[in-house]
Amino acid sequence: MEVHQTFRGSIPALYDQYLGPMIFAPYAEELASRLGDMRHGRVLETAAGTGVVTRALAAVLPEDVCIDATDLNQPMLDHASSGLPSARVTWQQADAQSLPFPDGMFDAVVCQFGVMFFPDKSLAFSEVYRVLKRGGRFLFNVWDRIEENQFADLVVKSVAALFPSDPPMFLARTPHGHHDTAALEVRLRTVGFTMVTTETVTRESVSPSALSVAIGYCQGTPMRNEIEARDASRLAEATEAAAAAIARQFGSGPVSGRIKAHVITAIR
């Protein structure tokens, strides 16, 4: 099953409730702040998910900046739009590899932790280049390797121990499997971007409890589908095992762990 098809059911709400504030909000605010100099124009967001970055953009950018938030997954957009009723934000289902917009329409394109899910990254980058105005900015981020992201790494290891012959590796394979920024920079330059820079940004991931961390990863991402595909009756067990591992290392109360990502800026 394609990854975008697995962000459905209860996953969007759990994703937003548990992972949103824990790992996405810190980078959403950081990414949105990089467009803080905009006074007017139009911003496109691809892979908007549950709208974490969309909300950050709406909070930072002045009213004269319009925001088009898109995602391939309609259930994610439905959840996102319910949390941000704003006349200047337009929600639209769209494939980042085939954007339904004319050439040179946007002053900036933003994508938070979505590039890893694009089957053809070069095609997606070409589409961003096409819809950007000359001098427009493309801002996106990707997670660093999973070993540099403490909660995710520990969750994967603890759940893998329950399925030693076929461990659920979604987190390591997809969100944390595309951290080669040099390769991404080559793709960007190949499609036409001339000024490309990368910055590594480290933040603290804060959660009210170890269980919240475990629910977020085990039940609020496609890792849930991987667990249930192996044995649907063991989802609670997997969640509890992840929570216990987090608690052993970080404590039984509120927990905090390192997260690390790369922010890439490309100018058309």
CA separation for the pair 140, 64 (Å, rounded):
22
pLDDT value, residue 85: 79
Q: Is the pLDDT of residue 268 over 50?
A: yes
Lowest-pLDDT range of 4-18, 164-178, 232-246: 4-18
pLDDT at 5: 46
- Collapsing DSSP to helix, strand or coil, 36 comes out as coil
The domains of the chain, with CATH numbers, are 3-267 (3.40.50.150)
For residues 145 and 175, the answer to whether their CB atoms sit within 8 Å is: no
**CA 172 to CA 221: how far, in whole Å?**
12
- Residue of 112, 123, 150 whose CA lies nearest to 33: 112
Q: Which of 7-11, 40-44, 117-121, 149-153 has the lowest mean pLDDT?
A: 7-11
Cβ neighbourhood burial of 235 (10 Å; 0-12, 13-18, 19+) = middle
Q: Which among 140, 137, 146 is positioned nearest to 113, based on CA atoms?
A: 140
Mean pLDDT of 41-45: 98
First to last CA, the chain: 35
* Look-up of token digits 């100018």: 267
Q: Is the pLDDT of residue 186 over 80?
A: yes
Q: Look up tokens 């704003």; give the residue.
A: 86
Whether 165 has a pLDDT exceeding 70, the answer reads: yes
Q: Give 11-29 pLDDT, tens digit per residue.
A: 788 888 999 999 999 999 9
**Average pLDDT, rounded, for the chain:** 94
The average pLDDT across 52-60 equals: 95
User: Residues 229-246: what's their mean pLDDT?
Assistant: 97
Check pLDDT > 70 for residue 10: no
The answer to whether residue 58 scores a pLDDT higher than 70 is: yes
Tell me the per-residue pLDDT of 82-128, one tens digit each, with 9 for 90 and over: 888 788 999 999 999 999 999 999 999 999 999 999 999 999 999 99
Encoding tokens for residue 1? Answer: 């099953």
What mean pLDDT do residues 229-242 have?
97
Q: Which of 7-21, 51-65, 199-213, 234-248 has the lowest mean pLDDT?
A: 7-21
Check whether 138 has a pLDDT greater than 50.
Answer: yes
pLDDT of residue 198: 98
pLDDT for 1: 36
pTM for the structure as a whole: 0.93
